[in-house]
Structure 1
Amino acid sequence: MQTVSLPQKPKYTPISDNSGKFEILGCYPGYGMTIGNALRRVLLASLKGTAITSVKIKGISHEFSTIDGVMEDAVQIILNLKKVRFKMYGDEPVKVSLKSKGEGKITAKDIKCPSSVEVVNKDQVIATITDKKVELEMEMEVSSGLGYVPIEQQERLEKEIGVIAIDAIYTPIRRVNYVVENMRVGKRTDYNKITLEIETDGSITPEEAFKKAVEILVEQFSVLGGIEVSEEVA
């Protein structure tokens, strides 16, 4: 009896610290696009990550303010904060802070974090102080979530004056793409080979991201397999 054959186990090749390539050989004809697209969608939208969801900058009441002695305005600072990536060892939102005085660049390494949070990209520039007498002080909230959540959809909006809500870019995946090619299996040449490349933000490895995406898909399909049979109503 003919059955649908299973693919080979994925082969992983690192490209850099945060990116890698997966090759899945021997996919049943036509399954390459189905599997590749499903993995890509889950990787981009369904992996847990962390992001800054609000900020309070001392002396600033709204996001369109300028800060004396600081090169960037509040909007530019917020855009830079969106690029700061974290590892979070818990599920509850956490407060982190930053305080710097004197001329020079302020980077993510200047953020003070509790033990439950760690900055990944410490070289990310946040602001530049141009006056040695100026002090920049801010408090931020770091939360965990899935995908991208705009301000309007966040459960916790600013509750006090001066707190600015930020669109949350939770996804730990920077880039993912795949290519499907035909390959020979036995006498047939229409089996599929999937080449999937993943680049992360450093808070998770490409291998961890791939495994988690597969786990999510397996969990979804396992529920669909438990079909409940109901009596037909006349």
Structure 2
Amino acid sequence: MPNFKQKLLLYFATISVSTLLISNLAAIKLWNFFGIAVDGGVVVFPLTYIIGDLIVEFYGKKIAKNIIVAGFLINILAIIVFYIVIALPAYDGWNMQNAYASVFGFTPRIILGSLLAYVCSNLLNNVIFMKLKNHDGIFAKSFIARALGSSAFAHILDAFIFETIAFLGVLPFHEFLAQAIFAYVLGISFEVIFSPAEAIIAKSLKGRMIE
């Protein structure tokens, strides 16, 4: 029977992989934030960093890396399946083909930007997180300090890669720049808002890990 730590890893891995797929689907929509075009993926994507921090904290960088790669591969599989299904001839009388293709036929630039940003930023996040954990001072003592410190840098890389690949040249430059800055600020803001809950979860799990 798997122990608590093994069961928890299964949940973490499932949530991490699922969050990426959900954010890619949500990113198809651009919503209006006071004149700024923002992709819908920013609503859920910061959760990947929160889960990633918990994984690297309790399971180490190697396992965290494997989960990132698994998330990447599963999303590639999902994209392939969606494109195959779109290409299949629609049944007579089913009038949702265009709508289905619009939603699940990922724009190549968006999906490429999303996957590259996910892999690169999360790997960077894990590296910085572990360096901070092994560093003297507040970062070694505080999980939240490590989580927010690593995310501050990783989100920069994420916003740069995703926004550049997905929207540079598609949106006017001032809108592109505003969206990239807003995506970064919103992502960090979500983590700051949820950091107290994340700290409680980390502390609770640490207690269970050593039981």
More strand by share: 1
Q: Which of 1 and 2 has greater Rg?
A: 1
Q: Which has the higher contact order (CA 8 A, sep 6+)?
A: 1
Query: Same fold judged by TM-score > 0.5?
Result: no
Which protein has the bigger helix share?
2
